[in-house]
Amino acid sequence: MIKGNQGKVIVLAFKFKLILAMLSFTRFDLRTLDANGPEDEEGIRRATELVHSMIEQEVKAGIPSNRIVIGGFSQGGALALYSALMYSKPLAGVVALSCWLPLHKNFPAAALGNTDIPYLQCHGDCDPIVPYKWGQLTASMMKQFLKQAEFKTYRGMMHSSSDE
């Protein structure tokens, strides 16, 4: 389980078993904690390119993109959501913990792919860093255009993870 690893993105590549788990610090500036505030669009796009390059490394190593799951916590989870939607090749799924969808106003029109893969988004209802409401709003919006989006609430959990 990941605890307190803000800004990390996990790229998991599966063949018949777990082959690789990579962690990378991929960050963009958070200019405000207001859901309608300005976002670091250039930084988000640069970080997304890094995630896409990590995926492409796995594809070049022989792992089909549809066997790769990406995920992250906090800013890393936000980046995982955005990166999957901006990736044109099919992925296996996304796990996004305590996060939101960056540049949410651009969706669903901006999505280049991966609207039919499983998305698991989890959030603690006592999160003081990324408000639970952001997670709920993200899930509600994404369920309008994703075929397999699940949102799990963890009662009493703050900005952390759980073994559940």
pLDDT for res 26 = 54
CA angle 4, 6, 12 (to 5 degrees): 100
For the chain (164 residues), the mean pLDDT of every run of 10, in chain order, is 42 38 52 73 90 91 91 90 96 93 93 96 94 95 96 92 72
For each of the domains in the chain, give its residue range(s) and CATH number, in order of start.
Answer: 8-30+37-154 (3.40.50.1820)
Catalytic residues: 74, 127, 159
Q: Which residues are 13's β-sheet partners?
A: 20, 68
Phi-psi label, residue 98: left if phi above 0, alpha if psi -120 to 50, beta otherwise? left
Task: Give 102's DSSP letter.
Answer: T
Q: Indicate yes or no: pTM above 0.95.
A: no
* pLDDT at residue 160, as a whole number: 83
Closest C-alpha among 36, 87, 48 to residue 66: 87
> What is the reported pLDDT for 15?
40
